[in-house]
Amino acid sequence: MLIRRPADIRPSEITPEAVFRSRRRLLAAAGYAGAGLLLGAGAGAAGIPAGHQRLTGVKESPLSSRETPNSFEDITHYNNFYEFGPGKSDPAEQSAGFRPRPWTVTVDGEAGVTGRFTLEDILKPHPLEERIYRFRCVEAWSMVIPWVGFPLGDLLRRFKPTSRAKYVAFETIVRPQEMPGQRSHVLDWPYVEGLTMAEAMHPLAILAVGIYGVELPNQNGAPLRLVTPWKYGFKSIKSIVRISFTVQQPHTTWSAAAPEEYGFYANVNPRVDHPRWSQATERRIGSRFFSPKQPTLPFNGYAAQVASLYTGLDLVRNF
């Protein structure tokens, strides 16, 4: 007897293009009516393709922006992730072979608790929150992204940093077989970043494990990435495998590559131009064709929360 396996998707289940396009228009028109709509409505409703693992128990956060997030498509197809190539579409096109599980994170340096931890160990005690943040790239474009994650400080406290710990350093995985960009020497691998302890403990700094209520796609830094919304995007290091508590200010990849163009702090600052282009304005990705660039805000609009971290610091010299 011939038993046929059912096809994965029956023709009757496929939504005609006209229908899903009209749904998208409806969603755009309705705006982003609170995280609840999205988190409750299921992945399909936000235009999220099938195959993305949903995250459960995600709570809203009062720290979220009220701005309309960019589409899932924009957030996942316009990325700087040089490990997968230098072009904006490279990460989406070249990251399918990356395997973010199993995953471990090494914690070392000036802390009471150090060692190698599985991703599950890292995540277990932390309730997930949705944080809708503005994201400003140093290249003068921006998005609004509904991250899912938890406060970085909550994790760091578990390792009991000593009083000698002044900085936290982060390192991205090196896997040239899975990350084609790492086969070229366009940057010095591994990608490294760092924060002062005060910055790392700030409630706005999060480790993200998802966007739009689903697990982080590979091109967005799966399975664990930093998000510091008041800093240029390159600070928000992706696919983290090492967290080190240090006495000295750690090296960071972009400031090593071009020290006159990218600093350690990299706070969003419309008054300090990049040597080659202006930082006064930014292009919001996904805005309409004829919409002009919008003004960039100090600390990307988070000045009220974070400016006190930098009292007495010359932000022009420490760019």
Partner 1 sequence: MPTLRQIRLCWKPLAFTAALLPLLGLLAGAAGFGGARLGPNPVETIQDTSGLWALRLLLVTLCVTPLRWATGQAWPLQFRRMLGLFAFAYAALHFANYLLLDRALDAGEITGDLTRRPYIIIGFVALLLLAALAATSTAGWRRRLGQRWQALHQAIYPAGLLACWHFWWQVKKDHTAPLWYCVILLALLGLRAWRARWQPPPG
- We find the least distance from the C-beta atom of residue 262 to partner 1, in angstroms, to be 10
The first and second tokens of residue 247, run together, are 């006495």
| 94 in Cβ contact with 85 (< 8 Å) | yes
Q: Specify the 3-state DSSP secondary structure of 31.
A: coil
Among 28, 41, 96, 186, interactor with partner 1 by CB under 8 A? 186
Regarding 67 and contact with partner 1 (CB under 8 A), the answer is no
Taking CB under 8 A as the binding criterion, the range among 35-43, 235-243, 273-281, 305-313 that sits at the site for partner 1 is 273-281
Q: What are phi and psi of 128, to 5 degrees?
A: -85, 140
Q: Going residue by residue from 155 to 174, which x/- string records binding to partner 1, judged by CB under 8 A?
A: --------------------
Regarding 285 and contact with partner 1 (CB under 8 A), the answer is yes
| 142 in Cβ contact with 291 (< 8 Å) | no
Please, what is the end-to-end C-alpha distance for the chain in angstroms?
72
Regarding 290 and contact with partner 1 (CB under 8 A), the answer is yes
Among 60, 108, 139, 154, interactor with partner 1 by CB under 8 A? 139
Q: Closer to partner 1 at the Cβ: 100 or 233? A: 233
Q: Which of residues 214-253 bind partner 1 (CB under 8 A)?
A: none
| 148 in Cβ contact with 130 (< 8 Å) | yes
Nearest Cα to Cα of residue 147 among 39, 242, 49: 39
- We find the least distance from the C-beta atom of residue 205 to partner 1, in angstroms, to be 25
| 233 in Cβ contact with 136 (< 8 Å) | yes
Regarding 16 and contact with partner 1 (CB under 8 A), the answer is no
Give the C-alpha separation, 242 to 52, whole Å: 26
Regarding 77 and contact with partner 1 (CB under 8 A), the answer is yes
Give the pairing type, strands 281-284 and 141-151. Answer: parallel
Regarding 88 and contact with partner 1 (CB under 8 A), the answer is yes
Contacts with partner 1 by CB under 8 A lie at 70, 73-74, 77-78, 82, 86, 88-89, 139, 141, 184, 186-187, 257-258, 276-278, 280-281, 283, 285-286, 289-293
